[in-house]
Structure 1
Amino acid sequence: MKKVITFIIVFISLFTFAQEDDKAQVLALKKANDYVYEANSLISNDNFVSAEMEYRKAISEKANTVTGTYNLGNAYYNSGNFEEALYRHQEAAKSATSKAEKHKAFHNIGNILMKNKKCKEAVEAYKSALRNDPSDNETRYNLGLAKICAEQQKDQQDKQDKDEDKKDEKKEDQENKENKDNKDNKDKEGDNKEDKKDQGDQEKKEGEDEKDDKGKPKDEKEDKGKGDNEKKEQQQPKPQPGQLSPQQIKNLLEAMNNQEQKVQEKINAEKQKGVKVKTEKDW
């Protein structure tokens, strides 16, 4: 019996709390709607600053109020603040509980994306709007425009990507060509260095061949020998006019000696010719 009484008390308490909570929610919703109404009046008079403040009060009073968030998004859109407008309409789409509310939010999201040249994303937003209200011809018309825009952007992007690829290929080919030219130049420089080295070695070898055993150049040796001969000739006395040179005197004496020797040999031969040779031996 005590358990039953306890259950009844708890149930009554929860019911009372729920009723109070519902009353608070209803009161908050009423205040939020009042703020929205005031904001709508201000926005109609082009008083954007004051209207924005009232919309924010409505959202602060009841965060999930679709009307306040949606109308604030429209106010931002009309003022040209597309980034803030997109954020508010996305919030409205999340908070919406009816298809009509979702349709309006997604339709406006598509319009904002088109303003931002995000055609592909706009196509998806318009499709979401039509899922909630397929009968809206305006949304369907905007969807067609978004598809055309998205296709054009795709073609443009593809062309740009191809141009970038060609540019990269051209740049790569140029770099390869430059690398090849640099390599060829280095190889050529290496060949020139080898040629110069071979030429230097050849000249060095020729220079060594021209030296004698003592390391002196042959030309120097020949020039020196020639100079010594010339020096000796200069040291020898030159014959005076009408006089015989020492060499001539030497040659003349040798000729006289040879002549005398021949005469002597002839005399000796005559003597030997006058003596008779015995043919028989005396007993």
Structure 2
Amino acid sequence: MKQLIIILLFLLQGSWLFAQQEKSLVHKGNELYQQKKYTEAEANYRKSMEKRKNVEGDFNLGDALFKQKKFTEAGEQFNQLAGASSNKNIAAKAYHNLGNSLLENKKLEESIDAYKKSLINNPKDEETRYNLAYAQEKLKEQQKKDKDNKDKKKNDKNQDKKNQNKDDKNKDNKDQNKKDQDKKDQDKKDQDKKDQDKKDQKDGQQPQPNKLSKEDAERMLDALNNDEKQTQEKLKNKKLKGVKMHIEKDW
């Protein structure tokens, strides 16, 4: 029985020593925190938690991480603390700080949700209410900015499409104009050729053989045959008629 009492006293003494060490580390951490030595404060809070889990050490560790701008780690710490605490006041503060950590990380919707949970646990907290309104306003600004950027991209895309259509139309018009001009030039060449042919015919020049029609060739051949017959007929008549001779005076 005496041995059992000694063992219990030893265990109680050991537990008390651990508690004192844990409190000492938390206290030291708080002093360092007040001196803005947040890295050293974080180290003491972590050591105190190794001795024994405690709410003060958990909460202050999150604060120290936040002050070092380790917002993701701080958020994880506050989220774990808020979910595990049955004390509404502690949960409200943890959710409030979680909201701040998320807000710093530009996670606006998540921060709004955290602030709302904080107010559920403590509806009278005006600071949390203010932060909630601030985060909601920031979210509206972000959504408007996103919408404006989306509209601008859409307008730029439509403008690019219009410009492309305009370029295509100009190219088509240019191609068509070139075709029209080529046709006009060809028509002019053809007309000039016809005019030259008419002029040549008027001046008595015969068209080139490769340009004669079958009818024109036949008419020309008939004309040549008729001329030849007329010439032969004239020569024949001269032979028959004879040539008059000079008659000399008979003495």
Which TM class, normalised by the smaller chain length? 0.5 to 0.7
- Tell me what 2:92 maps to: 103
Structure 1 segment 127-146 matched on structure 2, within 5 A: 127-146=116-135
What secondary structure sits across from 1:260 in the alignment?
coil
Q: Distance in 2 between matches of 1:127 and 1:177?
A: 54
C-alpha deviation, 1:72, in angstroms: 1.6
TM-score by length of 1: 0.52
- Gaps of at least 5 residues in structure 1 are 1-22, 214-253, 264-283
Identity %: 27
C-alpha deviation, 1:55, in angstroms: 2.2
- Gaps of at least 5 residues in structure 2 are 1-11, 195-206, 211-238
Tell whether 2:35 aligns with 1:45. Answer: yes
Tell whether 2:173 aligns with 1:176. Answer: no
Structure 1 segment 32-181 matched on structure 2, within 5 A: 34-60=24-50, 65-181=54-170
How many matched pairs? 191
- Structure exhibiting the larger radius of gyration computed from Cα positions: 1
**1:186/1:34 CA distance change after superposition, 3 Å:** farther
**1:45 counterpart letter in structure 2:** Q
**1:185/1:139 CA distance change after superposition, 3 Å:** same
**1:193/1:146 CA distance change after superposition, 3 Å:** same
**1:87/1:161 CA distance change after superposition, 3 Å:** same
Q: Distance in 2 between matches of 1:58 and 1:211?
A: 119
**1:163/1:174 CA distance change after superposition, 3 Å:** same
* Kept after mapping to 1: 8 A contact 2:38/2:67: no
Q: Alpha carbon RMSD of aligned pairs, Å?
A: 4.2
What secondary structure sits across from 1:258 in the alignment?
coil
- The C-alpha deviation readout for 1:227-283, integer Å capped at 9, x for no partner, is xxxxxxxxxxxxxxxxxxxxxxxxxxx9xx62229x8xxxxxxxxxxxxxxxxxxxx
**1:93/1:174 CA distance change after superposition, 3 Å:** farther
TM-score by length of 2: 0.57
